[in-house]
């Protein structure tokens, strides 16, 4: 059909070119590849994301170790308490024995912890006890009894009157030697001390390694200044050994 008139002279627009199916698929593949590359270079999926770091631990106070006691709670050694004052108004304790060449010397100390004067005159009565409180077969002699020569150990007894707070001392001497292999050595765990006849006994917990000599010497009660001119060091006796 032929068209006349003005519209017949208008040029006809060219038809849009048709896209080839092959080229369309190639473009889609290129776009998918670019998206994959961007995903690999970008953030990971939520399922693969790295967990947030844990918060730092709370600071520890300077005076407390973690899971441990406070500095002020740490225990320290407690000094040995003095013996209790007896109803008679005195207390008795034994000092650590001194040792030299098999000789042992221990000082007994009696303190007047009461409110009245307390008088001693003579030797304390001594019994050596085992760990069960049974008396051991030990010969107790007044003086050094040939065990050793000790200054003031063989002095004659004389009265000692103690005012409240004052003290008196007496000494025990023995040797821990073993002279007979067929006789077992004897070890005492306690010493029973009777300050004077008719007075209550006191028990002192102290080890006496008597060997098998079977004898113990005891000095009379005296004022501390009478036994030695100098104060003994810890682990030393107030009694001076001369042999």
**Contact status, residue 187 vs residue 115, Cβ threshold 8 Å:** no
- Looking at the domain assignment, is residue 102 inside a domain? yes
Kindly report the CATH number assigned to the domain that includes residue 148.
Answer: 2.60.40
- Looking at the domain assignment, is residue 10 inside a domain? no
Instruction: Considering only the C-alpha atoms of the chain, give the largest distance between any 2 of them, rounded to a whole number of Å.
Output: 170
Percent of the chain with pLDDT over 90: 45
Total domains, the chain:
1
- Looking at the domain assignment, is residue 141 inside a domain? yes
- Looking at the domain assignment, is residue 30 inside a domain? no
- Looking at the domain assignment, is residue 60 inside a domain? no
Q: Is the whole-model pTM more than 0.85?
A: no
Q: What is the mean pLDDT of residues 208-228?
A: 88
∠ CA(83), CA(230), CA(210), 5° rounding?
55
Q: For residues 154 and 67, what is the distance between their CA atoms, to the nearest angstrom? A: 61
pLDDT tens-digit series, residues 3-52: 445 444 555 555 555 555 545 555 555 555 544 544 544 554 544 455 56
**Contact status, residue 150 vs residue 174, Cβ threshold 8 Å:** no
- Looking at the domain assignment, is residue 25 inside a domain? no
- Looking at the domain assignment, is residue 169 inside a domain? yes
Domain extent, residue 136, equals: 90-226
| Token pair for 183 | 């006789």
| Token pair for 42 | 């970008």
> Tell me, what's the pLDDT at 197?
92
pLDDT tens-digit series, residues 145-172: 999 988 889 999 999 999 999 999 999 9
Percent of the chain with pLDDT over 70: 59
Nearest to 237 by CA among 43, 73, 51, 98: 98
∠ CA(110), CA(195), CA(146), 5° rounding?
95
- Looking at the domain assignment, is residue 107 inside a domain? yes
């Amino acid at each position: 059909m032929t068209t006349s008139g003005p519209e017949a002279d208008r040029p006809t627009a060219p038809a849009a070119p048709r896209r080839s199916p092959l080229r369309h698929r190639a473009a889609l593949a290129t776009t998918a590849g670019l998206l994959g590359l961007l995903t690999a270079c970008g953030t990971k999926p939520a399922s693969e994301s790295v967990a947030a770091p844990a918060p730092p631990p709370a600071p520890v106070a300077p005076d407390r170790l973690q899971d441990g006691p406070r500095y002020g709670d740490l225990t320290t050694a407690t000094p040995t308490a003095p013996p209790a004052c007896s109803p008679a108004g005195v207390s008795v304790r034994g000092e650590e024995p001194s040792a030299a060449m098999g000789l042992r010397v221990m000082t007994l100390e009696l303190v007047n912890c009461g409110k009245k004067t307390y008088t001693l005159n003579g030797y304390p009565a001594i019994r050596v006890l085992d760990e069960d409180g049974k008396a051991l077969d030990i010969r107790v002699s007044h003086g050094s009894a040939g065990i050793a020569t000790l200054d003031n150990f063989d002095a004659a007894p004389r009265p000692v009157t103690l005012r409240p707070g004052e003290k008196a001392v007496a000494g025990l001497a023995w040797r821990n030697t073993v002279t007979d292999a067929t006789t077992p050595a004897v070890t005492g765990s306690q010493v029973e001390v009777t300050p004077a006849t008719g007075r209550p006994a006191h028990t002192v917990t102290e080890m006496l390694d008597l060997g098998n000599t079977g004898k113990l010497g005891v000095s009379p009660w005296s004022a501390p200044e009478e036994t030695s001119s100098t104060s003994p060091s810890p682990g030393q006796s107030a009694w001076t050994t001369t042999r």
